[in-house]
A = this chain, B = another copy of it.
Amino acid sequence: MLSETVHLDGHIIDSGTLSKVLDLILLHGGDYEITSFQIGTTREAASHAEIVVRAGTEVVLQQILQELGQHGANPVAHDAEWTAAPADGVFPSEFYSTTNLESYVRHNGQWLPIEQIEMDCGVTLVERADGPHALTMPVHRIRKDDQVLVHETAVKVVVAPRKDPVSVFGFMSSEVSAERPKELSVAAVAEGMIVTRREGKKVLFVGGPAIIHTGAGKYLEALIAGGWIDVLFAGNALATHDIEAALLGTSLGVKLSTGVPMATGHNHHLRAINAIRAAGSIRAAVLDGVLTTGVMHACVTHGVDFVLAGSIRDDGPLPDVITNTVTAQDEMRARVPGVGLAIMVATTLHSVATGNLLPATVRIICVDNNTDTITKLMDRGTRQAFGLVTDCQFFLKELAARLEGRSAT
């Protein structure tokens, strides 16, 4: 029986971390003994545990230790090992794969923060004038001979932040259920936006085309005009149907003022795309006076930064759409620093894609009328998300009403 001692610090009881760590040891075929335990006796105080992990083989033991490291349970640290990347876009085979939790790597006896942390990336070491930096690095950006972190033993992960039951979103259960008072949840989101702004952080909005189809575009437009949104991530569809509504009064060919499908309305979205292609860009269409209202118009006139990421479902697409998906990710990634709150509405694709890029410290509200979208987001590692099962129409109308007259700065 081989063994190794790991340490675990922080709010390990109320975050459920200790319970999870012990489960993982058993689940992966090991056993444990808790050799020391100091419990944080009050709400604010941290706890400390020392756990002897045992396993039958060295391989199993190392795997368990690596797994525990992902939850903040670390053996005594050694300095990290770094290996040169064998080729452009390829990690060395033993590369360390990041989580979205705040992390540190041991280098020259000190803990370097891993910068702009994001899940499913590697870590490279860069020497700069101010000393060494450990950078989060997606695999497509690695270059031959970059120094890449290998193995997990020299990494320290900070325990997942708990979902504080007395915080602004505290009452929104992490369990996803449609049977909750909805107006209160929207009020909490409004409050969260105000708090985020007060903290000097950015609000990111991620949206799908159902916002336009259901007639809620005007509420999103009002939020943008009110200065509540710093960055918009969306796809060709949201922008296209918004512009279709602005130019032709329809969305998916359905007249928004009557709900009646219009004659030849099914090709309206293509006419809208063609009009913007003719103008050269959304911004050019606004400046030319072609586009005079709607969500995208509001982004341009209120200086809200947006990324329209392409998908194979797109017609056209609009000239502003970034058709290369890796480039689109990089553009989204570049806008993540400074984001304090992400609101994701009615889009599985863009929600999961954005969730992939956000550190665990960014608060996320995911709104969908289908619980599956929210489950999928969490299944893919974005566990900090709060789910709100409701119509995007209702959500945006309520949110806009609650923020009306409040100051966004």
Q: Which residues of A contact B (CB under 8 A)?
A: 13-16, 18-19, 22-24, 26-28, 31-35, 37, 39-43, 49, 60, 63-64, 66-67, 70, 86-87, 89-91, 93, 95, 97, 99, 120, 139-140, 152, 165-166, 170-172, 175-185, 188, 210, 213-215, 251-252, 254, 256-264, 266-267, 269-271, 273-275, 277-278, 309-317, 319, 323-329, 332, 348-350, 352-353, 356, 369-372, 375, 378-379, 381, 389-391, 393-394, 397
Contacts and interface: CB of A to CB of B under 8 A. Distances in A.
Contact of A391 (B90, B269, B369): B369
B317 A326 contact: yes
A39 to B, nearest CB: 4
Contacts of A251: 181
A116 to B, nearest CB: 16
A interface secondary structure, majority: mixed
A185 B258 CA distance: 9
A169 to B, nearest CB: 10
Contacts of A67: 263-264
Shortest beta-carbon contacts, A-B, top 9 = A97-B267, A394-B394, A181-B215, A63-B263, A67-B263, A184-B259, A312-B353, A310-B325, A179-B213
A23 B27 contact: no
A274 B150 CA distance: 13
Contact of A178 (B27, B89, B369, B378): B369
A102 to B, nearest CB: 17
Contact of A87 (B31, B140, B185, B278): B278
